[in-house]
Amino acid sequence: MTQFQSAAFAGAHTALITPFSPDGSTVDLSALEAQILFQASGGITGVVPCGTTGETPTLSDAERRNVIQTTVATARPLGVKVIAGAGSNATAHAIQLQSEVEGFGADASLQVVPYYNKPSQEGLFRHFMAIADAAHIPVVLYDVPGRSGVGLSVDTVVRLACHPNITAIKVANGSLGFVADVAQRCDLAILSGDDPLTLPMQSLGAVGVVSVLGNLAPADVAQQIAAGNRGDFAAARVIHERVLPLATGLLSLDGNPVPLKAAMAMLGRDSGVVRPPLAAASVSVRDRLVELLDAVGVRGPAGAQDSAEVSGTMESR
């Protein structure tokens, strides 16, 4: 890996939720700003608006633009980088979105594998190369076959890594072998896209994470990544083992970001609202989240109700 790529993307990045008003009709930009300030206070390197955790498919074009513009305007003065979601399953549209986020001042774009279409590896190669050819900021590949229906092969990643504008990959395919092969065969900076696997991915060459857990515990995520990147895997493991139950629960109790938003509501950090077709967390999920938050020691801002009390009073939407 080149020193530039490693330095540019090393660190903890949080996959931001998109906060909604209590009725879900509008984006709460004030809550988004507060969440970014919370991320900066926890030592997060960067934030990722309009990704999977941000419920991007449910945003209007105007909302998506407002989220990215607000994120850039809030994060950049704090020294927090912005990797803006700009992916689409139509190549021409992805190029358009790439141009937009560049104009908004993003540091890099996150380009997801095209979803629903299920293109061949050659189709994926041509899609990402076309985006990279048009790009003026770094492109981060996003491999998440559980969402997109098809994933990148290592051979295709190696081919794409030859493009100077493609400089990193977010790996959310659950394969440690994939991470090891990519690290050995090309110079892309590797970012974990799966919190429970971040530590083993770092041991194989990953330099950072795009984290769901970071929305709740940015300092823990930042400290774990920093420890791993300086080679102190013993210290990283201590944090990993402590937060692992919560990190796993956020991704397994229901579809992301349903558990995350429920937990944030319990901590007084979000309305907890998700947009259809997602449904609010069930009582059983919320009860389990209370246990996990208490076990890990995650707390809300001063003055917020404790998680147990909120869990007992919150009604299903």
- The three-state secondary structure class of 135 is coil
Is there a catalytic annotation at residue 118?
no
Answer whether residue 302 shows pLDDT above 80. no
For 118-127, the pLDDT digits (tens) are: 999 999 999 9
Distance separating alpha carbons of residues 251 and 139, to the nearest angstrom: 25
Instruction: Give 253: exposed, middle or buried? Use CB within 10 Å, 0-12, 13-18, 19+.
Output: buried
Distance separating alpha carbons of residues 225 and 239, to the nearest angstrom: 10
With bands split at pLDDT 50, 70 and 90, how would you rate the model's confidence at 35? very high
Q: Which fold has domain 3-229?
A: TIM Barrel (3.20.20)
Supply 202's token pair: 């770092």
Instruction: Give 179: exposed, middle or buried? Use CB within 10 Å, 0-12, 13-18, 19+.
Output: buried
Give pLDDT, residue 2.
Answer: 47
Give pLDDT, residue 157.
Answer: 98
Provide the CA 98 distance to its chain's centre, in angstroms: 18
What does the domain layout of the chain look like in residue ranges? 3-229
Q: What is the mean pLDDT of residues 253-264?
A: 98
For 159-168, the pLDDT digits (tens) are: 999 999 999 9
Give pLDDT, residue 316.
Answer: 36
Q: What is the mean pLDDT of residues 161-178?
A: 98
Answer whether residue 317 shows pLDDT above 50. no
Answer whether residue 308 shows pLDDT above 50. no
- Among 158, 169, 157, residue whose Cα is nearest residue 201: 169
Is there a catalytic annotation at residue 142?
yes
How far CA 41 is from CA of 34, 79, 219, 298, in Å, comes to 11, 11, 8, 15
Answer whether residue 1 shows pLDDT above 70. no
Give pLDDT, residue 300.
Answer: 85
With bands split at pLDDT 50, 70 and 90, how would you rate the model's confidence at 7? confident
Answer whether residue 310 shows pLDDT above 80. no
Answer whether residue 312 shows pLDDT above 50. no
- What is the chain's mean pLDDT, rounded? 94
Active-site residue (options: 81, 116, 118, 170): 170
Active-site residue (options: 115, 118, 142, 261): 142
Residue 303: CB atoms within 10 Å = 6
pTM for the full predicted model? 0.93
Distance separating alpha carbons of residues 279 and 283, to the nearest angstrom: 12
Answer whether residue 116 shows pLDDT above 60. yes
Q: What is the mean pLDDT of residues 250-277?
A: 98
Q: What is the mean pLDDT of residues 97-124?
A: 98
With bands split at pLDDT 50, 70 and 90, how would you rate the model's confidence at 190? very high
Q: What is the mean pLDDT of residues 149-168?
A: 98
Higher pLDDT, 103 or 2: 103
Phi (first) and psi of residue 166, to 5 degrees: -95, 105
Phi (first) and psi of residue 150, to 5 degrees: -150, 150
- Amino acid occupying residue 266: M
Answer whether residue 263 shows pLDDT above 80. yes
DSSP H or E stretch at residue 252? helix 233-252
Beta bridge partners of residue 192, listed in sequence order? 171, 209
Rg (CA), the chain: 18
Distance separating alpha carbons of residues 137 and 163, to the nearest angstrom: 12
Does the bond joining 119 to the residue before it have cis omega, within 30 degrees of 0? no
With bands split at pLDDT 50, 70 and 90, how would you rate the model's confidence at 301? confident
